A and B are shown apart, each in its own frame.
Chain A
Amino acid sequence: MSELFVELFSEEIPAKLQINARNELKRNIKNFFIDNQIKFNENFNVYSTPNRLVLYIDKIPNEIKLNSEEIRGPNVNAPEKALEGFIRSNNTTSEKIFKKDTEKGEFYFFKKESQKVKVSDLLEKNLSEILTKISWNKSMKWSNYDLYWGRPLKSILATFNKKLLNFNFNHINSSNKTFTDKSLEEGMKIFNDFNSYLKFFKQKGILIEQDLRKKFIQNKINEIINKQNLKIEQNNKLIDEIVNIVEKPTVIICNFDNKFLNIPSEILITTMQSHQKYLPTFDKKNNLTNNFFVVSDIKDTRGLVKLGNERVIEARLSDAEFFWEKNKTQNLVKQVDRLKNINYFKGLGSYFDKIQRMRKLSSLISDDFLISKDKIEIASSICKVDLMSDLVGEFPELQGIVGGHFAKFQGFDKEVCLAVSEQYLPNGMESKLPKKMYSIALSLSDKIDSLVGFFGINLKPTSSKDPYAIRRMAISLVRLIVENEIKIKLKDLIVYTCSTYRDQGYEFDIKKIQKELSEFIIERLRNYLKEKKIRQDIIESSTFLLGLDDLLKAYKKSLCLNKNVKKEIGSQTIAVYKRCSNILNSEEKISLETLGFADPGLFKNDYEKKLYKKINDIRKYFLSIGKDENYEESLKVLSSIKNEVNNFFDNVIVNDEDIIIKKNRLELLNMLCKTFDNYFNFSRIES
């Protein structure tokens, strides 16, 4: 048994590309082994540092046996040259070629004897192609070469069974050497196997295996935070990125001047995380502290790295502080007029136009929400002013949040500030959801206004392109409504928004927008339900013929049925419905004209009467519940008809000789199905 060890050394490959390259290499090499029926340790791993992409697989046989096979050559009528080529490419002689009839005519054949092949030969022959197959999300060329790679590829080390594998990959020849100094690309050293390679680098503090690097970094951080009573954010995506931008991690705790803690913490955190890749720390009460972590790629023997990074954050925070101090006192209300100069979108006016529309819409919503009209109008008016601030110029990702802080500083109502701060939330499936009514109202107005606008100027997304992230906007709208259990007439709000656009002189085709936008939003609801792991048939059923105003209803019913579909109340209800509807469906062929109700005068027995009474009881129930339906209760009520239905079918023959009686009984079943349909379209549910 042997091991394959390959190292691809390049200039620094960015974190995401590295991960992508690891996965690609892993998949391609795996396919190669499987396709060639070579056994290998399937639990192998691909490792990477910014400069090294490393493959290691053990438990590979040195030789494999290829079974004998007949290889088809050219047709016997083909020109002589074709046959010569066939003989040459199979490395054989004309004596060993024979003719044979096949369905497609007579062909030349060559019988390849069973043979043993060295795996190292196969690897040498195929490695270049395996590497070529790596598909990079982004790749580049350099110098005079034609090769595309994530960043310039400098050398390839490849050994099998501790012996060099010799092959060419574009302009690069493989060897059993690599650079031990990644910075200067010096210190060429021979490595014949993976373990000595790992060991060598470990002695230098370089961890080739990303999982070990991650553990190492986490342990070092934990050591320090435990000592100092600090916390860092859980599930930190940044750590995953940091792991892939260092090979020799050194965790350094640094700090900045306490005075900067007066700046809103979001600004500090964004500066540290997104701009500098530092890990901010928090105290036990979750307040940001002035300590932060830097993960350096060298040992900081003279303390220069710590000093340098502290100076950098100091400079950055001074900048932020300068802007914060300048912007926070700029009167929000007085700046509203300046929004006239800021284009919202070509064809949809300025931000000033947008907030006028939002103000009207949110004011309409405030009636439904029973919140103060004045407050929501104020929030709408000032919510976009922060777009003109230096801070949002510096930190575009903090739009809204920064505005909320300005509003707070200027003494606006607490709920207004929060609404401004949360106006862009939620932003997609994963994002935080506003819970306060003012925030919800403002966010709804913003999203509805944008959706109507973009559909109005025909910029709706196509199946492959969504440059303005309109899908995300609609999904966020769905989440706002269903997760907060908001009862609003979305249809009316869309029509109203069209009128606010019209008042400003934008002529949209209202009917077209309504139709397209409804379909679009309902499609998002379906996706949303899918994400929530709702059964596909339940989704189909709940969104079939759904109106825009019933998003919440459809959501709740789907959730309820999904939860109960395998339980008694669910399965019984479906069984009852199916039993009745199956009969109706089979009878439809004789074009039964249903009236929609049965005539009690035509009932022949108690079973019919009892079923009839039960159906009417259920109908009364549905009439009485009004707006505040408890869907589980409804399902229970439906399932309670089981006995009456069973008794009916056990004792009554629908298919009576008297066509009038028969029709009346079908009417009864039809009544039942119709009643059930009030709750849910069960016909689309698989039993």
Chain B
Amino acid sequence: MVSKIKKKTLSFQDTIFNLQKYWSKKGCVILQPYDLEVGAGTFHPATTLRSLGPKPWKTAYVQPSRRPTDGRYGDNPNRLQHYYQFQVLIKPSPKEIKKIYLNSLSSIGINHEEHDIRFVEDDWESPTLGAAGLGWEVWCDGMEVTQFTYFQQMAGVECKPVSVEITYGLERLCMFIQNKKSVFDLIWNDEGITYKDVFHQSEKEFSAYNFEYANTDNLFKIFEMLEEETKLLVEKKISFPAYDQCLKCSHVFNILDARGVISVAQRAEYIARIRELTKSIGKVWIESQS
């Protein structure tokens, strides 16, 4: 079985299918991507909110992630403003999680007995989420393929029980599996469609939007409006809608940042404002859980 997988190059979409199947068998709720622009899989409420509170939870999903500042107009072989993460969150963290994780790599053709899999210190912090965790980035022959984190704090609240978050960078992982030097050369499916066919134009256009055309005056106003809306919804104690507004705030901020109109000092202030929103939402959510 293993040898068969090796002969055929695992396509981008098959990589996703295999991971979904694997984690589904491990009892995870397989979700679909969240329908808002977020910077990372962690921002999906299925991670942010559900990692808080006492109830056990297991989930896995693909999350398109947007990092406007990382856009390179499709010119850089490793850098994208829109890419995919495969996110797993399990609360409480299971005892054999390392074994489970290493076996998930086998499911996509990476045998840990043939590759130098290394757990390299990487403590994680998200200032906008008021979150922190300890863990590693996992290297496969020197290539970072996964973030592996034990959440210690989320939305400013201590996590109890502690969740483990496993985040695979799908493009990087596939570049490794398919032996490609450029992300755009990745084979998307068995029909020969490439990553370039799917995403090159949008990378180019979104880079132009993020760096050149986004209307910053409007975005500054929108930020204020969204912030106000979030606060209102927090007062109404409805955490999910409040969190949606907060996510939108965060994305607006990211575009403003990419446009280069936020100074260093302002930057810290905006991040603090978003963090305050997240914290207040976290409180409302936890109350709803008890």
The residues of A with any CB-CB pair to B shorter than 8 Å are 11-12, 14-17, 50, 138, 140-144, 151-152, 154, 183-186, 245, 276-278, 294, 296-298, 300-302, 304-305, 307-309, 311-315, 318-319, 322, 341-343, 345-346
Closest 8 CB pairs of A and B: A308-B141, A14-B121, A12-B119, A309-B142, A346-B265, A312-B142, A140-B134, A296-B116
Residues of A within 8 A of B118 (CB): 245, 297
Selected from B95, B114, B120, the residue in CB contact (under 8 A) with A143 is B95
Nearest Cβ on chain A to B55's Cβ, whole angstroms: 12
Q: Please, which residues of chain B bring their CB within 8 A of the CB of A296?
A: 116
Task: Tell me the bound Cα distance from A297 to B119 in angstroms.
Answer: 11
Choose one: A184, A245, A278, A319; the contact of B120 (CB below 8 Å). Answer: A245
Q: Determine which of B116, B160, B263, B264 lies in contact with A297 in the assembled complex, contact meaning CB atoms within 8 Å.
A: B116
Q: Are B141 and A309 in contact (CB under 8 A)?
A: yes
Does B260 sit at the interface, judged by CB under 8 A? yes
Q: Which residues of A contact B260 (CB under 8 A)?
A: 341
- Beta-carbon contact of B265 and A305 below 8 Å: no
User: 28 interchain pairs (CB within 8 A)?
Assistant: A11-B98, A12-B119, A50-B119, A140-B133, A140-B162, A141-B150, A141-B162, A142-B93, A144-B161, A151-B134, A152-B150, A183-B112, A184-B98, A245-B118, A296-B116, A298-B113, A298-B116, A305-B141, A307-B141, A308-B116, A308-B142, A311-B143, A312-B141, A312-B142, A318-B77, A318-B78, A322-B76, A346-B265
A-B contact count (CB 8 A): 114
**Nearest Cβ on chain A to B263's Cβ, whole angstroms:** 4
Report Cα–Cα, A304/B115, bound state, in Å: 7
Contact B264 A184 (CB under 8 A): no
Of the candidates A140, A304, A311, A319, the one whose C-beta lies within 8 Å of that of B114 is: A304
> Using a CB-CB cutoff of 8 Å, which residues 131-162 of chain B contact chain A?
133-134, 136, 140-143, 150, 152, 160-162
Structural contact, B141 and A142, CB atoms closer than 8 A: no
Please, which residue of chain A has its CB at the minimum distance from the CB of B75?
A: A322
How many whole Å from A394's CB to the nearest CB in chain B? 10
- Chain B residues contacting A318 (CB-CB under 8 Å) are 77-78, 181
Decide yes or no: A315 and B181 within 8 Å by CB, A185-B99, A294-B142 being known contacts. yes
B75-119 at interface with A (beta carbon < 8 Å): 76-79, 92-96, 98-99, 102, 112-119
B92 touches A183 (CB 8 A): no
Please report the C-alpha to C-alpha distance between residue A465 and residue B134 in the assembled complex, in whole angstroms.
Answer: 24
B164 to chain A: which residues have CB within 8 Å? 142
Cβ distance A305 to chain B, nearest Cβ, rounded Å: 5
Interface centre among B76, B114, B118, B121 (most CB of A within 10 A): B121
Cβ-defined partner of B115 (8 Å) among A11, A186, A308, A315: A308
B123: Cβ under 8 A from any A Cβ? yes
CA distance A142 to B148 in the complex (A): 13
What distance in Å separates the Cβ of B133 from its nearest Cβ neighbour in chain A? 8
The answer to whether B120 and A186 touch across the interface, beta carbons within 8 angstroms, is: no
Q: Mark B224-265, 1 if CB is under 8 A from A, else 0.
A: 000000000000000000000000000000000000100111
Q: State whether the Cβ of B270 lies closer than 8 Å to any Cβ in chain A.
A: no
User: In the complex, what distance in Å separates the CA atom of A311 from the CA atom of B172?
Assistant: 12
Asked whether, in the complex, the Cβ of B176 is within 8 Å of the Cβ of A184, the reply is: no
Inter-chain contact B78/A315, CB cutoff 8 Å: yes
Given A184-B99, A302-B114, A143:B265 Cβ within 8 A: no
**Pairwise interchain contact A143-B121, C-beta atoms closer than 8 A:** no
Q: Which residues of chain A are within 8 angstroms of B152 by Cβ–Cβ distance? A: 140-141
Minimum Cβ distance to chain A for residue B148 (Å) = 9
A144-B120 contact given A152-B150, A343-B263, A343-B264, CB 8 Å threshold: no
A277 to B160, CA, bound (A): 35
In whole angstroms, how far apart are the Cα atoms of A460 and B116 in the complex?
47
Chain A nearest CB: distance from B156 CB in Å? Answer: 17
**Contact between chains at B142 and A276 (CB < 8 Å):** yes
Q: Which residues of A contact B113 (CB under 8 A)?
A: 298
Report A340 CB to chain B, min CB distance, Å: 11
State the CA gap A304–B117 with chains docked (Å): 12
- B116–A142 CB distance below 8 A: no
* Nearest CB in chain B: distance from A302 CB, A: 6
**Contact (A142, B162) CB under 8 Å given A302-B114, A319-B76, A343-B263:** yes
A315/B77 contact (C-beta < 8 A), A140-B134, A308-B115 known: yes
Q: Which among A184, A245, A304, A315 is the interface contact of B141 at CB below 8 angstroms?
A: A304
User: In the assembled complex, how far is the CB of residue B54 from the closest CB belonging to chain A, in whole angstroms?
Assistant: 10
How far does the Cβ of B146 sit from chain A's closest Cβ, in whole Å?
Answer: 13
